[in-house]
Amino acid sequence: MPFRDCIGHQQSIALLQAAVTNERLAHAYLFHGEEAIGKRLTAIRLAQALNCEQPPEADGLDSCGACRSCQQIEARTHPDFFVIEPDPESDHDGPARVLRCVALARGAALAAIRLGREGGADPVAHCGFRGEGRLVVAGIAADNPMLSGYVDRGHRDRVQVEDLERELPDDVVQVMFAGPLPAMLDLYPRLVAGLGAQARVERTLYPGHEMGFLDVLHPQVSKGNALEFLRERWGLAREETMAIGDNWNDREMLTVAGRGLVMGNADPALHALGLEVLPTNDEDGVAVAIERYVLGGD
Ligand SMILES: [Zn+2]
């Protein structure tokens, strides 16, 4: 269907037409906006206008809507027109789903809850083996707005119980603590010593924000292991993987990836790994890495 027959998007269409008239058409356009307002249709019309064999005599670029090229694009059979859509059979796209869940053993979860309580911290049990992400909590101390803030951001998933140890669900994935940095730095060695080989304790520390997170996980659970799992599943070579990190819980992943990149604002412990350092997040460090290594600079 030609542009002239379409309702709405006049501004976007005029912009695209002007770009062609002025020979300033970009190599790519992103059509972004609410659902079902005709983004895809407008993109298809642009493709038709650019490929039309008998463009109408008009002020701006348009298609005839009837020539072979216009019809082939409509029918998705044009040799130079591709529609790339998520493949429902593939893991790469489509709705998120859980590929693997390695849960924390119940005994380890209970031990972590007890150790946290003894250390004055409020435990949160992350539950749900199918990605439900329920946050089960008993109480959160009034002087820990950080943790209440975190839990309440997912308020629909918050499950309030009286006694977390007694009412601990059967599908605990991990036990988490969050709070002021000194409290987390104090609790970390207690958890490591108290849990031993039963669990892995990961730190995510934000000294700039004076806060931190501790995650108590199954010993085999880490971002590094997850990367290895996906790499094998998708049949990729190690050299084809890239990881970007800024915190303690990224360390293993950074060393497992073919290319590990450290954010400029990362924890000093990551800088010590001797990997390439990117600009900071305020300087678009991740975008720099994607431009350099994915979109192909060098
Ligand atoms: Zn045409």
For 52-81, the pLDDT digits (tens) are 999 988 777 889 999 999 999 999 899 889
Q: Are 273 and 255 in contact (CB under 8 A)?
A: yes
Those residues of the chain that have pLDDT short of 70 are: 1, 86-96, 154-155, 297-298
User: What's the pLDDT tens digit per position in 15-66?
Assistant: 898 888 888 888 889 988 888 888 888 899 999 999 999 998 877 788 999 9
What token pair was written down for 55? 């463009």
What token pair was written down for 41? 């249709």
What token pair was written down for 176? 């988490």
* Alpha-carbon gap, residue 55 to 210, rounded angstroms: 62
Ligand 1 centroid to residue 23 C-alpha, Å: 20
Ligand 1 centroid to residue 49 C-alpha, Å: 7
Chain position carrying tokens 């709705």: 95
Ligand 1 centroid to residue 185 C-alpha, Å: 67
What token pair was written down for 145? 């707005």
SS3 176: strand
Q: Give the per-residue pLDDT at 87.
A: 63
Ligand 1 centroid to residue 74 C-alpha, Å: 10
CA 175 to chain centre: 21
Ligand 1 centroid to residue 81 C-alpha, Å: 14
Amino acid letter, residue 212 = G
CB atoms within 5 A of ion ligand 1 belong to: 52, 63-64, 67, 70
Ligand 1 centroid to residue 79 C-alpha, Å: 15
Q: Give the per-residue pLDDT at 89.
A: 61
Q: Give the per-residue pLDDT at 130.
A: 86
Distances (CA, A) of 239 to 225, 226, 236, 257, 272: 16, 16, 8, 7, 22
* Alpha-carbon gap, residue 131 to 177, rounded angstroms: 19
Distances (CA, A) of 206 to 29, 125, 128, 275: 37, 22, 27, 20
Angle between helices 10-21 and 39-51 (to 10 degrees): 30
CATH architecture for the domain at 3-74: 3-Layer(aba) Sandwich (3.40)
Ligand 1 centroid to residue 5 C-alpha, Å: 14
What token pair was written down for 284? 């678009």
**CA angle (182 as vertex; 178, 188 as ends), nearest 5:** 65
Just give the CATH number of 106-217: 3.30.1240.10
* Alpha-carbon gap, residue 229 to 223, rounded angstroms: 10
Reported in sequence order, the residue ranges of the chain that DSSP labels E, i.e. its strands, are 124-127, 134-137, 158-160, 172-180, 200-206, 211-217, 242-245, 259-262, 276-277
CA 118 to chain centre: 34
Ligand 1 centroid to residue 68 C-alpha, Å: 7
* Alpha-carbon gap, residue 204 to 211, rounded angstroms: 9
CATH class of the domain whose range is 234-294? alpha beta
Ligand 1 centroid to residue 84 C-alpha, Å: 22
Q: Give the per-residue pLDDT at 112.
A: 97
CA dihedral 46, 51, 57, 60 (to 10 degrees): 30
Task: Decide whether 3-74 matches 106-217 in CATH topology.
Answer: no
* Alpha-carbon gap, residue 105 to 188, rounded angstroms: 19
Ligand 1 centroid to residue 25 C-alpha, Å: 19
Amino acid letter, residue 198 = Q
Q: Where are the domains of the chain?
A: 3-74, 106-217, 234-294
SS3 51: helix
The H-or-E segment that residue 21 falls in is: helix 10-21
* Alpha-carbon gap, residue 217 to 173, rounded angstroms: 7
Q: Give the per-residue pLDDT at 93.
A: 47
Ligand 1 centroid to residue 248 C-alpha, Å: 57
Q: What is the pTM of this model?
A: 0.68
